[in-house]
Amino acid sequence: MKHAKAAALRAMLPWVAGLAKARSQSEHARQRATCLSQLLAMDNVYKGKGRFLSPAEEQEAACAASAALQAMACLEEMTAQKGPWHLTPKAHALLHIARDSAMANPRIAHCYQDEDFVGRTKRVYSACHGKTAPRRALERYGLGVALQIMAREQLLRGDRRAKARPLDRRAAVQSERAPALPTHGLKRPVGKPPQFGPKRPRGRPRKGEQ
């Protein structure tokens, strides 16, 4: 869980808190259960609320955050800084977020979508050539977004065959199709090099053809 995503950890928090509460025999386990349960209580304050919180809700979230950090400090002292419990600068920022949550609900102001956008852009960028990657990545991403909008419009119109899929590297590469070359009344499309002379048959000629 060291390299897990923030959104995934928040979704797993109820299950982890319940598991820690069921296994709280020792003092270390009780402090661990307290830390996780208080973090869950803080998240439940923000869940389902609007953009702004009331002073009572802000105070409840601040108390839960303070209790969680106190339990984390006890865990850090018990493990002698050898375990996964460390008070980092992000822990201090968590307390400020809880105390200032009346100005904006953290559920509304999180940056999950921005981080997801960076991940999608990276996948599209890595599929391009190094020399033309800035321009081609922008073109492919814009084309993928356009296809998403068209698919969602078809869904709103009632076309069940349309599927609005998230933009990824494979979709961006496969969706890039070169348009048909104009003919302008000629026999061959403009831009296609002409072929001179008849095509040579492959393989050795037969005895009657020599």
pLDDT digit string (tens) for the chain, length 210 residues: 556 677 788 888 889 899 888 888 888 889 989 999 999 999 898 887 888 888 888 889 899 999 999 998 888 888 875 667 778 888 888 888 888 887 888 888 777 778 788 888 888 888 888 888 889 989 998 888 898 888 888 888 876 665 555 545 454 444 444 444 444 444 444 444 445 455 555 566 566 555
DSSP per residue, 120-162:
HHHHHHHTS-TTTHHHHHHHHHHHHHHHHHHHHHHHHHT-TT-
What pLDDT does 63 receive?
A: 92
**What is the 8-class DSSP label of residue 82?**
-
What pLDDT does 52 receive?
A: 85
User: Which residues are CB-contacts of 51 (< 8 A; sequence separation ≥ 6)?
Assistant: 104, 105, 108
DSSP per residue, 158-206:
T-TT---PPP-HHHHHHT--PPPPP-TTSSS-TTSPP--SPPPPSSPPP
**Cβ distance 168 to 120 under 8 Å?**
yes
What pLDDT does 208 receive?
A: 58
User: Which residues are CB-contacts of 5 (< 8 A; sequence separation ≥ 6)?
Assistant: none
